[in-house]
Structure 1
Amino acid sequence: MPLGLALATTAVVAQTGAPPAAHVPVPVEGISARIVARYPHDRAAFTQGLVWHDGSLFESTGQPGVSDVRRVRLNDGKVLARTKLPGLQFGEGLAVDGKQLVSITWQDGIAHRWDARTLKSVGRARYPGEGWGLANDGTSLILSDGTPTLRFMDPKTFKEKRRVTITANGRPVHNLNELEMIDGKLWGNIWHRDYIVRIDPATGEVDGLVNLAPLRAELGPLDPEAVLNGIAWDAAGKRLFVTGKWWPTLFEIALEPVPQG
């Protein structure tokens, strides 16, 4: 059920009706984040998906009537190109598949394909249920939908191949949102929580957690829906980027184990 909020003159639709975001129970490995750099980010962007591809940052944004897929210049946050989603579709997660991008929609059940160079539409597919986050593990597109279930979809047909349940110490974890694969592990935001989690994609087990509350606090007062969301991994440069919905800043961070003792 949509919830109308106000940010300036923009009508905001929030993802509601899902179970409360589960606190990930301990013990899982604690990981700290060190800020490496800060970059400007379009604070009008309701960030839903973020990827690094072929030397560029790509982003998908949400909200009916303004959702788009865009190519963004890292250094100054300038939007170099964008393509708007049709009608009132609410854009969600984004992933790379070869020379194309795949973006999903929240409740329309549509997966869009885009030429990564031109951002022109090159096809679409249908899927049941909601779409939240999307990532590519090299053989499947991994889809989150707000439930503890991850669906592994065929990249070409978007038909489901298998699924796993997201758990932490045996307890289901709800509201996994934006996703990113990093060195064989799946990382994801938990909606309305200031942390990202690391997941074994074979089992769905959460085995690590990064507290990013200091990043959110640095930005000062924001709209309640301006939550952490957006993870992009530059595999060649070994750089990790995170941001949030309507955040004015995109952070490059380095992850380090939390000292024990």
Structure 2
Amino acid sequence: MKKYNLLAFILLASLFIGCEDKEKDKTGWFLLSTTDNKAQFTSDETATLSITNTKNKTVDSIVFFSNDQKIGAVKGVSPFKYVLAEEKLGYLNLKATIYFEKETAESTHRIELVSNIEPKLLKYTLVNTYPHDIKAYTQGLEFHRDTLYEGTGNGAGNSTGIKGVSSLRKTNYKTGEVYKIVSYPETIFGEGITILNNKVYQLSWQNLVGFIYDADTFKEIKRFDYAKRIEGWGLCNDGQKLYQSDGTEKIYTLNAETQQIEGHINVYSGANKIKAVNELEWIDGKIYGNIYQKDAIAIINPKNGAVESVIYLGDLKKLVTQHPDIDVLNGIAYNPKTKTLFVTGKNWDKLFEIRVEE
């Protein structure tokens, strides 16, 4: 008899606990929404964040977060005005923490922030044409003290039948002469380069490793592992930080000393993500980026990721010697002395100097 009483007690206790847990499940008590339930906003808008109190609880306050960063708080269930002007483009994961009757609950929502800028199409003038190594599968291009540095990938071969190998080069851009070169084994696929504090940083594609060299001697200073399992594509710097593309719409910000990721932007043209951002160059506070397979350069605001202008360079490819292994436009180098751009492509036999105009 006692055993039956004990069993009944356990069943009743379990039922009571189950009911209590269900009562404490606050899912649906508070619903976070935005202005007219909009899913997409532009940078010049303000999103009104509101809480629907489905259980009519007495709410003390609400704290709002965007991508885990606190953006403000209100008393009671008052709406919150979220000004979007300073936010980076892309998805914003919103969260509200509601404080009520000595308890708390959370509600989440997601919106997408897109660009309100219509990119301008810029014109260019062809200033000069120089020779370029047809075997160079160009991945990175940059001037340093009047000398052109180039990073190349393995490539797929060329019309001579000679497969290229990845390299880092110091060249005479006027003649195409290679002053100094570091070649990689076939297992390393070289990618973008940038030069900061007289050090050359070079990425690899899928090897998850980067290289740092002395810009004068090409002596290897360090190898570094990527902080995330991403591909290495383009690289540039603003004089302090590094910016790395990975073949998506993302451009990562890296600490130059530790090579650790400190943030990222998402590249948008209007409401569209621009993927396959490739070789990068920092010019007058903007990021110039080749868009893979598009024969165009996007000029990107590094603060929020908005494409502000575009340079279409498809006509230059017609001026290059046509051969079976010619590939896409890639390579942007800015010469601050002449204020001109130097551009080329993968397995192109020419390097072009252009002047960009409004």
Shorter-normalised TM range: 0.7 to 0.9
CA contact (8 A) 1:151 1:162 kept: yes
Distance 2:236 2:210 in 1: 13
Shift of the alpha carbon at 1:239? Answer: 2.4
- CA deviations on 1:150-184 (whole Å, 9 max, x unpaired) are 10001111100111111010211100100001100
Q: Does 1:157 align with 2:258?
A: yes
Shift of the alpha carbon at 1:138? Answer: 1.8
CA contact (8 A) 2:339 2:355 kept: no
Match among 122, 140, 147 for residue 49 of structure 1: 140
Higher deviation after alignment, 160-169 or 78-87? 78-87
Shift of the alpha carbon at 1:28? Answer: 1.0
Distance 2:319 2:185 in 1: 35
CA contact (8 A) 1:151 1:160 kept: yes
Distance 1:82 1:220 in 2: 25
Which residue pairs with 1:23 in the alignment? none
Unaligned runs of 5+ in 2: 1-116, 156-163
Unaligned runs of 5+ in 1: 1-25
Name the count of aligned residue pairs: 233
Distance 2:238 2:317 in 1: 28
Which residue pairs with 2:152 in the alignment? 61
Say which one has the larger Rg: 2
Q: SS of the counterpart of 1:57?
A: strand
Instruction: Select the structure that is richer in helix.
Output: 2
Shift of the alpha carbon at 1:208? Answer: 0.4
Match among 288, 301, 308 for residue 207 of structure 1: 308
Shift of the alpha carbon at 1:226? Answer: 1.2
Shift of the alpha carbon at 1:194? Answer: 1.3
Q: Does 1:227 align with 2:328?
A: yes
TM-score calculated relative to the size of structure 1: 0.86
Instruction: Name the aligned partner's letter for residue 146 of structure 2.
Output: G
Instruction: Name the aligned partner's letter for residue 44 of structure 1.
Output: K
- CA deviations on 1:169-214 (whole Å, 9 max, x unpaired) are 0211100100001100100111111111100000111010011011
Instruction: Name the aligned partner's letter for residue 182 of structure 1.
Output: I
Shift of the alpha carbon at 1:96? Answer: 0.6
Which residue pairs with 2:345 in the alignment? 244
Shift of the alpha carbon at 1:222? Answer: 3.8
CA contact (8 A) 2:326 2:348 kept: no
Alignment of 1:81-160 (within 5 A): 81-127=180-226, 128=228, 129-160=230-261
Distance 1:189 1:203, change over 3 A: same
Instruction: Name the aligned partner's letter for residue 55 of structure 1.
Output: D
Shift of the alpha carbon at 1:223? Answer: 3.7
Runs of 4+ in 1 over 3 A off after TM superposition: 222-225
Instruction: Name the aligned partner's letter for residue 33 of structure 1.
Output: Y
Instruction: Name the aligned partner's letter for residue 199 of structure 1.
Output: I
Q: SS of the counterpart of 1:241?
A: strand
Which residue pairs with 1:80 in the alignment? 179
Shift of the alpha carbon at 1:225? Answer: 5.4
Shift of the alpha carbon at 1:87? Answer: 5.0
Distance 2:282 2:203 in 1: 17
Distance 1:236 1:217 in 2: 28
Q: SS of the counterpart of 1:42?
A: coil
Shift of the alpha carbon at 1:131? Answer: 0.4
Distance 2:133 2:325 in 1: 17
Higher deviation after alignment, 218-227 or 166-175? 218-227
Which residue pairs with 1:34 in the alignment? 125
Instruction: Name the aligned partner's letter for residue 239 of structure 1.
Output: T
Measured on the aligned residues, the alpha-carbon RMSD in Å equals 1.7
